[in-house]
Amino acid sequence: MWGLLGCGWLWAALVLAAPADEAIPIGSITVNPMANNRRTVILQGKTRTVNTYHGYDSFGRSICGQGFILEDDTGSLDVLYLIRCQANETPVVVGEGERVVVHATIDVSSDNVKNMEGKELVFKAMATKIIREK
């Protein structure tokens, strides 16, 4: 009985200690990328090296979006925000130096995605939502 009660208190403490909707430091991800692979995160920082992507996925469907480096006081990370392009749909467009909140999944894989300098992005955040800060 006491063991079950103790486990319940431990579970409650863990749930209350780490709110799921708070941004985490980029440095906590970059310190060990493999441990964070496929982890859903919220990141916050300033954009730099913003570029636009237009191309096709492995099935030949049109994709578009943006790539940029997101940085905070603890580090920086490549971010890709890609969607299937529709004739009347435009992905979120962020500018150089903008402060944003990024909802993303950390991806550690070799999928032949390269940045503007031709460097393969083996470790990146695949954004699902970007919110501009005011």
* Average pLDDT of the residues in 79-84: 89
Report the sign of the C-alpha dihedral through residues 14, 77, 45, 43, in that order: negative
Q: Which residues are registered as beta bridge partners of 45?
A: 100
pLDDT-based confidence at residue 120 (cuts at 50, 70, 90): low
- The per-residue b/e assignment along 3-25, b for 16 or more CB within 10 angstroms, e otherwise, is eeeeeeeeeeeeeeeeeeeeebe
Residue 52 has which token pair? 């636009």
pLDDT-based confidence at residue 14 (cuts at 50, 70, 90): very low
The answer to whether 3 touches 11, Cβ cutoff 8 Å, is no
What kind of fold does domain 20-132 have according to CATH? OB fold (Dihydrolipoamide Acetyltransferase, E2P) (2.40.50)
- Smallest CA-to-CA distance from 30 within 63, 64, 65, 79 is with 79
pTM of model > 0.85: no
Cβ partners under 8 Å of residue 87, min gap 6: none
Residue 118 has which token pair? 């031709």
